[in-house]
Structure 1
Amino acid sequence: MYKHLYRRFIEANPTLLHFACHSHHYWADISREAQLQYWDDSAKHVDDKWNHIFSVKVPQAQRLIAEILNISHPQQLVFAPNTHEIVFRLLSSLDWNQKIRVLTTDSEFYSFDRQINRLSELPQFEVVKIPTLPFDTFHERFEQAMESADWNLIFVSHVFFNSGLVCDVERLVKDAPSECPFVIDGYHSFMAVPLNLKPIQDRVFYVAGSYKYAQGGEGCCFLYVPPATRHRPMYTGWFAELSKLSAIGNEVGYPTDAFQYAGSTMDFSAMYRLIATLEKFKDEGLTITRIHEVVQQSQKWFLEEVEKSGHPLVNRQTLIATDLKNHGHFLTFDLPSTEVTTDLVKKMKTRGLLTDSRGSRLRFGFGLYHDLADIKAAVAKI
């Protein structure tokens, strides 16, 4: 139904069944025009390019994202080239001269997990990870952990990258200590699983980006900062002083909006691509709710075909899911071992079916460029 949005990627890979769109999503055709527009704007504005970007393009991106997340304060969105930069800037706003206690899960993406693992080697960092499985008791266990100690940072994903399970973040925020920064990693849910941030917009930080379901490609990530936040991150860049560059001295000042978390020079072509893609989706009537419905239908077809196939490894028994009506846009199957999973991924790739895995977990992603014929062909190649 929506293959026309991805004609260039599909034509470039005519024999490939791409079911890794939770990891490396096809880009919409419109993003190529946006990439060229960035070059043309750079040629047109030259030294005034930054003024054009920060007065026109950044507010445009802020408005589009705020509309999707139902945020009342678009100016509370700040951008960076990747989520790791954002994560470390958040961590650098804490007082490293004191004990730092971080509460998180065992299923956070590498941009946070690797960094927090490294920091946990320092004596002042204490990191507690709550297992997401068994998921039917996860929220209760996480709530108990929040109440068990004083925390300096709470970090949890909306959709867990290694399972597709959806966290009830609004429930957790409601019970979280008010003085502790609460960060939601929305990278595996933004433009996929609906989330209304308005009820908790004064309480949470939210980080996501354009690489996966926003379909704008790598290079444009963003952080939503609660309006009352007044932080002074140690990891800071010159974008945070854009409003007073001509009067900079030795004092390190910070804006009162989201740009207190700003970094430095980045390639804004990714923002152009993101804006173009989100605007195209609006023109097509592709709200997150509609996208979610399309993907849920594809997942339903896939599981029906899998059941018919009688595959010994990829089946309902190995599927990690509790509620397919409230699930991420990929299906995860927990196989006997990492070796078995890796071997199956390689075999499927030789047959023209691209997917991926994390440890023993095999992941199939679904996008707007899949139809029933694609799904039947994919299952036949497993």
Structure 2
Amino acid sequence: MYKHLYQRFLAAHTSELHFACHSHHYWPDCSREAHLQYWDDSCKYVDDKWGYIFSTKIPQAQKLIAEQLKISCPEQIVFAPNTHEFVFRLLSSLNWKKSLKILTTDSEFYSFDRQINRLSEMAEFEVVKIPTLPFETFHERFEAALLSESWDLVFFSQVFFNSGLVADIPRLVAKAPASAIVVVDGYHAFMAVPTDLSSVQERIFYLAGSYKYAQGGEGACFLYVPSSTRHRPLFTGWFAELSHLSAVGNEVGYPTDALQYAGSTMDFSGLYRLIATLETFKKEGLTTEAIHQWVHRNQMLFLQKLSGKSHPLLQRSKVLMHNPDHHGHFLTFELPSTEDTQKMVKELASKGIKTDSRGNRLRFGFGLYHDEQDIQELIRRI
């Protein structure tokens, strides 16, 4: 039904079943034209390019993103080439002259996890990680931890990258200390899991980007900044001076809008691709809810048909899942060992099935370019 959106990628991989679309998603054809448009606009505007991008393209992207997240103030969205830039900018907003306490989970993506592991080597940083499994008790355990200390930073994912399990944002935010910066990593949820941030938009920072389910490729990550925020990140760049470049001197001022979290010069071609993709989805009537319904149907069909295979490792009982109706867009099989998992990835690849893994967890991703025929062929090859 939606294959027409991906003709170029599908034509380049005619013999492959691409079920790694949680990691390396195919891009819609419209993104190619958008990429070329960035070149054309760079040629057209030259020195005036920044003015055009910040006055036209960025508001366009902000509005499209805000519509998906039910945010009422799109101007509070700021862009960067990767999430790690935002992660460290958020960390640099804390007062490093005192002891800092960070609460998070054991299932955060590497941009955050590696950084705080490094910082935890310093005496000033205390990092507490709450295990996400067993997920049946995760929220209770995380809430208890939230109430146990006066945290400086609380950081958790909306969809955990190593399982597909989904956290309840409003529930956890409600228990967070008022003094804490609360950050939600929505990268594996944005444009996949229906999200309404309207009730928490004045409380949380929301981090995501286009490389996964927004399908715009690399280079277009964003951070939603609550409108009451008045921070002075140590890690800052000239984009944060855009409102008064002529007044630059020894004094370091910060905007009162989302640009207080802005960085520096970046390649905006990713933003062009993201805009084109979101506009195409809008024309097709593909809201996050509609996309989720399509993927959920294919996931359930896959699990139903897999039950008749009697595979020694790929079994329904090995799938990490709490609520089938409220799950990320990939299914994670927890296998006996990392070796078993790597062997399975290679075995599937030899059959033309593209998947990926993290440790002993094998992941099958589902996208709009899959239909019932693809699921049946996947089962046949397995």
Q: Is the 8 A contact 2:240 2:259 kept in 1?
A: yes
- Pairing 1:48–2:51 present: no
Structure 2 residue aligned with 1:181: 181
- Pairing 1:346–2:330 present: no
Q: Tell me by how many angstroms 1:375 deviates.
A: 1.0
Structure 2 residue aligned with 1:218: 218
| Counterparts of residues 65-84 of structure 1 (less than 5 Å) | 65-84=65-84
Q: Is the 8 A contact 2:164 2:328 kept in 1?
A: yes
Deviations 1:225-252 (A, max 9, x none): 0010000000000000011112211100
Q: Tell me by how many angstroms 1:284 deviates.
A: 0.1
Q: Please state whether the residue corresponding to 1:259 is helix, strand or coil.
A: helix
Q: Tell me by how many angstroms 1:381 deviates.
A: 2.5
Q: Please state whether the residue corresponding to 1:320 is helix, strand or coil.
A: coil
Q: Please state whether the residue corresponding to 2:299 is helix, strand or coil.
A: helix
Distance 2:351 2:93 in 1: 48
Q: Is the 8 A contact 2:150 2:179 kept in 1?
A: no
Q: Please state whether the residue corresponding to 2:196 is helix, strand or coil.
A: coil
Structure 1 residue aligned with 2:315: 315
Matched to 1:295, the amino acid is V
Distance 1:193 1:5 in 2: 20
Distance 1:186 1:257 in 2: 21
Q: Please state whether the residue corresponding to 1:367 is helix, strand or coil.
A: coil
Distance 1:308 1:316 in 2: 10
Give unpaired runs (5+ residues) of structure 1: none
Matched to 1:349, the amino acid is A
Distance 1:266 1:197 in 2: 28
Distance 1:114 1:16 in 2: 33
| Counterparts of residues 1-382 of structure 1 (less than 5 Å) | 1-382=1-382
Q: Tell me by how many angstroms 1:379 deviates.
A: 2.2
Moved beyond 3 Å, runs of 4+: none
Q: Please state whether the residue corresponding to 2:362 is helix, strand or coil.
A: strand
Q: Tell me by how many angstroms 1:256 deviates.
A: 0.2
Give the TM-score normalised by structure 2. 0.99
Q: Is the 8 A contact 2:17 2:378 kept in 1?
A: yes
> C-alpha root-mean-square deviation of aligned residues, in Å?
0.6
Q: Tell me by how many angstroms 1:130 deviates.
A: 0.1
Distance 1:308 1:5 in 2: 32
Deviations 1:185-239 (A, max 9, x none): 0000000001100000000000000000000001000000001000000000000
Deviations 1:47-90 (A, max 9, x none): 00000000000000001101110101111000000000110000
Deviations 1:100-150 (A, max 9, x none): 100000000011111111111111001000000000100000000011111
Matched to 1:128, the amino acid is V
The alignment of Structure 1 onto Structure 2 pairs a total of residues equal to: 382
Identity %: 67
Q: Tell me by how many angstroms 1:380 deviates.
A: 2.5
Matched to 1:364, the amino acid is F
Distance 1:221 1:246 in 2: 28
Distance 2:56 2:190 in 1: 23
Distance 1:17 1:87 in 2: 34
Distance 1:247 1:156 in 2: 38
Distance 2:357 2:299 in 1: 18
Distance 1:379 1:160 in 2: 26
Give the TM-score normalised by structure 1. 0.99
Distance 1:120 1:43 in 2: 46
Distance 1:32 1:159 in 2: 29
